[in-house]
Amino acid sequence: MKRVYVNEKWCLGCHLCEYNCAFAQTGKEDMALALKGKQIHPNIRVEDGENIHFAVNCRHCDEPLCVKGCITGALSRDENGVITIDKEHCIHCYTCILSCPYGAIVPSEEGAIQKCELCIKTTQGTPRCVAGCPNNAIVFEER
């Protein structure tokens, strides 16, 4: 399946992906309108080191620990392999957050967990973090 991959060689640590992700979640048309004055909760986060930057998001594991550990079945793997969250069924137990080895799952403001769903619910085609990366550091491809 096509996944989002990050090549740290080209990641500039500009953090634009985080804002593009947060913007995608709002479903709004204008980024200024969507994010002005708001705290953002992106599903991709750039880890900054001294000379290295690396954006991290859900790996959509073939054997996802989060899905395995989810006690309500709110997390599931769809037919394409995308791990999605049904927020209605999430009871905020955060087992998934504890079990994710990448730290790619976080609680949302409302309490239910949130995670990268490869923009299948927000945009068509290329995930927004990929489309907005200025240096092709984030790619969406089959590997």
Is residue 134 within the footprint of another protein (CB under 8 A)? yes
Site for another protein in 19-58 (CB under 8 A): 19-20, 23, 30-32, 35-38, 51
- Report which secondary-structure segment, H or E, holds 11: none
Contact of 96 with 75, CB cutoff 8 Å:
yes
| Residue showing tokens 């504890």 | 98
Q: What distance in Å separates the CA atoms of residue 81 and residue 59, rounded to the nearest whole number? A: 10
With CB under 8 A as the contact rule, which of the stretches 6-14, 62-70, 109-117, 119-127 interacts with another protein? 6-14
**What are the DSSP E strand ranges found in 36-94?**
45-48, 53-56, 75-77, 83-85
Q: Per CB under 8 A, does 4 bind another protein?
A: no
Instruction: By CB under 8 A, tell whether 13 contacts another protein.
Output: yes
Nearer CB in complex with another protein: 67/138: 138
Provide, rounded to whole angstroms, the least separation between the CB of residue 113 and another protein: 24
